[in-house]
Chains A and B, each alone.
Chain A
């Protein structure tokens, strides 16, 4: 009887050890905490939408102590994003490098063949999806001095005008702006004249200066000109109206009888083969970030659609988005030969 307590101790110790051994692979293992600053790759130049958002979110993350290490935005704009995508593969397995995306993640690999170092063709599947944060909207804008007050009036004018005489300014070539224009052309059976500019700011300036007849600028790029009474929105390419302030009066294309919708992904990706623990850390971080007051305000002012999504549903959404962009580009003859 004297030995009982010892036996009990021995038993409980061994049980505990056993439990720990069993438990470790079940739980997600040691949680990831960044040990050095996180590089936030931006696949576009300074001053654009993705750049603006990363540089907005980085200090909000710091303010709310969501990460022990700072997020440092770095632009890698070459090749309409190609340079940034390949960089994310070069950094394979690195838990301290993430990417903010726009739709060039889908469009650029269609418009040109991007080769990885191992010779394979790049696609977004080479990277590690972390989260969808926001969907950016597109609005059809005309000059406030133009006679077109409604989409129907603009449509009539576009159909009556000689081929190619109605000009549209857009960002880059074979990217979202041109895709949207092609959708409109096909729906109306017209031919617009697409003039590529280097960035959304220059595009909006071209409309304000009456160099072109219309644009499909993001709300953020044109809101100042709208408030200043220089441009007029005719319709939004979103599935439903944006329910903020003045934006809620802009009808959707669907309401006006055109089956066209387009929204741009503002999401976050990790390096190729990023460890699971790191992905979990970023998912958690961005979920908390999206619930901050600053982000709520940001979403409202930019007329974004809040759309946080992670895990397998995000991947399924990405597959559908990729197929849709590819389909649209093939229809419009915008894919690489």
Chain B
């Protein structure tokens, strides 16, 4: 495809997306999606699935624009409750709570929200441009990623978190292992047997990490606040559009994080079967490793909001690439959209690009339009959202508990999840009192299942031999990169202290 025809198609697509009917559909989808994103538990995947039957009477182009706009809306909306209440609205906004919520507590919710929305937008917009010009060749490359390559990428993800815990390494290791243990609950896809469900059929679908995250972060936070004494006043904070300008002034400083987050997020999104969630964690982990302010991460660092949000939204765009070019889902949400293709009378696959010009380029055109409209909608709402922060805790706390409960229930429609949420709330409180880091647990839980599956698939492919990870060139490169990242903290402290001075930390790592 030459550049000129791309421009030609793009203009055509923008024309399709800008017809009044499609524009109204996009705006409706965005508002709905933002609301879905705000409700924890009712994720973009569920939201799209719920809307699917409603798209039956629309044209395929209008239908995909509606579903995609809901998806973009939910990508924006997920950050709101993460920042204000420490409750992740979506799986990919868990990492946004790490620094977003401390910022809100310091009376700067407007800055955190503006940073989240703006970086989401930048990540998305750059990704859409990459999508427009390089979709077919990128999809071809993504196809080369089988289970061994996926496992190597996931190892890289774990490697980026080595610095995530901070404090006591033993506590970080403990929390990581606990997360991995929880991720094994459910159904063993290789043997086809349920495991560690203790007789609860509901546990056979596994411990849902968003339920755990709502408990650990949201409820745990409320318990701590109650213990510190019931503050009847809300957090005073400046509200207004000045936050927008102040935040944007800081953005040039974070260019490296933004570029890294966008490329990483887009790429992880394009790979089949990973999606926005691991991308957001990896981007956060890398930003912390390479930032000059790395010790301020977790305490309200704007860069810690920028990193995961850029990557999550970039990955959301990337996930639609294999869907459009090859008919292969790049994320769970894309899988539901693919089910829609058939409902609309389309066969997903490589021919779509050639035979369904209006559908494909209408979607691409609407990505540009919807993300611009989306960011304007959410940015104008910043003062309103920030005002929620002023509501006295006594009024807000019951509302948060209700919101959390609805969210935890909505994930799988099962009452058991409410008890799991409550249990993790108590656990979250205790862990914080004992200064155990929560992030490694959540990260291990969300990546554990994918990692185990990729590892076991790879070993089956290699007939039991782990050599498959080094004989396949792409896997080898990623394995080497992750080994380097794992050792980076040790290398750094060795260089800082000088080679002549032996000390405990390096000795521990080498021993």
A residues adjacent to B (C-beta < 8 A)? 46-48, 51-52, 55-56, 58-60, 62-63, 73-80, 82-83, 86, 111-112, 114, 164-165, 167, 172-175, 193-199, 201-202, 204-206, 208-211, 220, 223-230, 297, 301-302, 334
- Give min CB distance, A90 to chain B, whole Å: 10
- Asked if B184 is at the interface (CB within 8 A of a chain A CB), the reply is no
- Asked if B342 is at the interface (CB within 8 A of a chain A CB), the reply is yes
Which residues of chain B come closer than 8 Å to A51, judged between CB atoms? Answer: 49, 336, 339
Q: Are A204 and B146 in contact (CB under 8 A)?
A: no
Which residues of chain A come closer than 8 Å to B54, judged between CB atoms? Answer: 59
Q: Are B351 and A227 in contact (CB under 8 A)?
A: yes
Residue-wise interface mask of B (334-372) relative to A, using a CB-CB cutoff of 8 A (1 in contact, 0 not): 011011101101011111100000000000000000000
Which residues of chain B come closer than 8 Å to A75, judged between CB atoms? Answer: 49
- Give min CB distance, A70 to chain B, whole Å: 8
The 7 closest A-B pairs by CB, nearest first: A224-B349, A228-B350, A173-B192, A78-B205, A47-B335, A79-B204, A59-B56
**14 intermolecular pairs with C-beta atoms under 8 Å apart:** A46-B46, A46-B339, A56-B56, A78-B201, A83-B202, A83-B205, A165-B463, A201-B338, A205-B326, A209-B145, A224-B327, A224-B352, A225-B349, A225-B350
Q: Are B463 and A208 in contact (CB under 8 A)?
A: no
**Which residue of A56, A205, A229 contacts B350 across the interface (Cβ within 8 Å)?**
A229
Q: Are B335 and A199 in contact (CB under 8 A)?
A: yes
Which residues of chain A come closer than 8 Å to B413, judged between CB atoms? Answer: 74, 76
Q: Are A86 and B201 in contact (CB under 8 A)?
A: yes
**Which residue of B186, B329, B349, B460 contacts A202 across the interface (Cβ within 8 Å)?**
B329
Residue of A nearest to B460 (CB): A195
- Give min CB distance, A67 to chain B, whole Å: 13
Which residues of chain B come closer than 8 Å to A226, judged between CB atoms? Answer: 349
Chain B interfacial residues counted at CB < 8 A: 58
- Asked if B73 is at the interface (CB within 8 A of a chain A CB), the reply is no
- Give min CB distance, A253 to chain B, whole Å: 25
Residue of B nearest to A111 (CB): B192
Residue-wise interface mask of B (30-69) relative to A, using a CB-CB cutoff of 8 A (1 in contact, 0 not): 0000000000000001100100111011000000000000
**Which residue of B56, B144, B342, B453 contacts A302 across the interface (Cβ within 8 Å)?**
B342
Q: Are A78 and B189 in contact (CB under 8 A)?
A: no
Q: Are B205 and A112 in contact (CB under 8 A)?
A: no
In the complex the two chains form, what is the Cα distance from A220 to B327 in whole Å?
A: 11
The answer to whether residues A228 and B56 also contact, given A205-B143, A211-B147 and a CB cut-off of 8 A, is: no
Which residues of chain A come closer than 8 Å to B351, judged between CB atoms? Answer: 224, 227-228
- Give min CB distance, B273 to chain A, whole Å: 6
Q: Are B192 and A297 in contact (CB under 8 A)?
A: no
Which residues of chain B come closer than 8 Å to A167, judged between CB atoms? Answer: 461
- Asked if B291 is at the interface (CB within 8 A of a chain A CB), the reply is no
Residue-wise interface mask of B (17-29) relative to A, using a CB-CB cutoff of 8 A (1 in contact, 0 not): 0000000000000
- Asked if B272 is at the interface (CB within 8 A of a chain A CB), the reply is yes
Which residues of chain A come closer than 8 Å to B56, judged between CB atoms? Answer: 56, 59-60, 63
The answer to whether residues A78 and B343 also contact, given A47-B332, A111-B193, A196-B457 and a CB cut-off of 8 A, is: no
In the complex the two chains form, what is the Cα distance from A202 to B204 in whole Å?
A: 21
In the complex the two chains form, what is the Cα distance from A172 to B453 in whole Å?
A: 11
Which residues of chain B come closer than 8 Å to A205, judged between CB atoms? Answer: 143, 272, 322, 326, 328
- Asked if B187 is at the interface (CB within 8 A of a chain A CB), the reply is yes
Q: Are B45 and A46 in contact (CB under 8 A)?
A: yes
Q: Are B461 and A211 in contact (CB under 8 A)?
A: yes
- Asked if B3 is at the interface (CB within 8 A of a chain A CB), the reply is no
Which residues of chain B come closer than 8 Å to A111, judged between CB atoms? Answer: 192-193
In the complex the two chains form, what is the Cα distance from A241 to B188 in whole Å?
A: 36
In the complex the two chains form, what is the Cα distance from A76 to B57 in whole Å?
A: 26
Which residues of chain A come closer than 8 Å to B204, judged between CB atoms? Answer: 78-79, 82-83
Q: Are B349 and A227 in contact (CB under 8 A)?
A: yes
Residue of B nearest to A334 (CB): B192
**Which residue of A59, A172, A228 contacts B189 across the interface (Cβ within 8 Å)?**
A172
Which residues of chain B come closer than 8 Å to A173, judged between CB atoms? Answer: 188-192
Q: Are A230 and B350 in contact (CB under 8 A)?
A: yes
Which residues of chain A come closer than 8 Å to B132, judged between CB atoms? Answer: none
Residue of B nearest to A61 (CB): B53
- Asked if B412 is at the interface (CB within 8 A of a chain A CB), the reply is yes
In the complex the two chains form, what is the Cα distance from A219 to B222 in whole Å?
A: 51
Q: Are A47 and B338 in contact (CB under 8 A)?
A: yes
- Give min CB distance, A337 to chain B, whole Å: 10
